Amino acid sequence: MIETFKNLIIRKAYTERVQPYIGSHIIKILTGQRRTGKSYILYQLMEEIKKTGPDANLIYINTEFAEFRDIQDGRDLYEYVSARLQSGKANYVFIDEIQEIAGFEQGMKSLFAEEKCDLYCTGSNAHLLSGELATYLAGRYIQIQVHPLSYSEFLVFHGLENTLETLQKYLHIGGLPYMASLAPLNRSEELSQEYLRNIYESILLRDVIARENIRNIQFLENLAAYAADNTGSLFSANNISKYLKNQRVNMPVQTVITYLSALQKSFLVRKVSRIDIKGLKIFEIGEKYYFEDIGLRNILVKNPLILDIAKVIENAVYNFLVQRDFTVYVGSLGGAEIDFVAEKLGTKLYVQVAFRISDEETARREFGGLERIDDNFPKYVVTLDDYLPAYSESGIRCVHLKDFLMMDL
């Protein structure tokens, strides 16, 4: 298995976070949307372990492969691994898409308690650790979410320079790693759209409908499309329910909430809460939704990209901040909205996103809210405009999107 993956592009943002824990008695868990590259990061970790310990015993299980279909539950998992442990050697166990094994918690608990192997696993469900395993292993695991390619990774994977044309490609097809293995970008429109559609349907069927026992599939699909059409817009389950009633569709608010939660658990969309910047209060209603991958978002909308570009660049900025490990909120300050308030390790930054800053009124709107924030944390206006105003008197920096997405924040 390992020899097949010698030419992997290393995603250091993730491997370097796991490396300090290799060999430690702590479970390493990679979570994230399907096809974001979790399996390949496992392969990269396996390669690293082989370099430092050539005699190490590596046990690999991929629940999507036919050869592992006999592993049906936690007991099967425990017995399979136990039978392959080798005494006198360092044993490493890698389990891909572990949520496909019913009751995997029991097997993991036993393997962890016996301390005979170093455990690594991946999962495509946000609530992977919401049950008994999380309770039993509190403080005994690290969880790292793997995202689609950042823009800088996209350039590396596709072998491209940072140009406006490249940025447009990224905003169009998104950052699923396998896209780099398709035909060259200038000839891959049909292939990329077909691939994205297949991944979307796989997420919907396997990670949402089947796992969450969704019954009204048509409404789920309509809800996903609604979220795509309203990317970056404030809305709530109650507003959606009212909208549906106007369309003569009677859908209880709780059902809307349940279906939105199911989409979040699959990592297809992410909910962003609003925060009162002055009072640091998180509002209970009126959130925004963004897509984990822009390409998957784009295949759900009917508008051409040029008409949807403002929503797409806002989604791209949000994804960039999350990929940089920021906790992100929508800001509210005295009636003015700040697109993003991003916090990390006791620091923060503020970001306003504008497609164009073509006139004084737009500039006043985009800079005005940030100028009212009376702290010294960095503040940015991110735009696709070719004309970039210099720093404002308040120290606000205006940055082109292709440069902002390459910043080391």
Task: Give the CA count within 13 Å in the CB-facing half-sphere of 311.
Answer: 24
Q: What is the pLDDT of residues 328-358, one digit of tens each?
A: 999 988 878 999 999 999 999 999 999 988 7
162/280 Cα distance (integer angstroms):
37
Q: Which of 51, 27, 31 is nearest to 41 (CA)?
A: 31
Give the span between the Cα atoms of 262 and 208, in whole angstroms. 6
Q: CB under 8 Å to 253, separation ≥6 — which residues?
A: 237, 238, 241
Residues in the chain, pLDDT under 70? 1-7, 129-133, 136, 183-188, 279-280, 284, 389-393
Query: Which two three-digit tokens encode residue 246?
Result: 């106007």
- Look at residue 149 in the predicted model and tell me its pLDDT: 97
Any bridge partners for residue 294, and if so which? none
* pLDDT score for 284: 67
Phi, psi of 125, deg, nearest 5: -140, 130
pLDDT at 2: 43
Cα distance between residue 240 and residue 238, in whole Å: 5
- Give Cα separations from 263 to 270, 291, 305 (angstroms): 8, 10, 23
Q: Which domains does the chain have, with CATH numbers?
A: 2-145 (3.40.50.300), 151-404 (no CATH)
Report pLDDT for 105: 87
pLDDT of the residue at 132: 58
Please tell me the predicted confidence (pLDDT) of residue 4.
47
Q: What percentage of residues in the chain have a pLDDT greater than 90?
A: 67
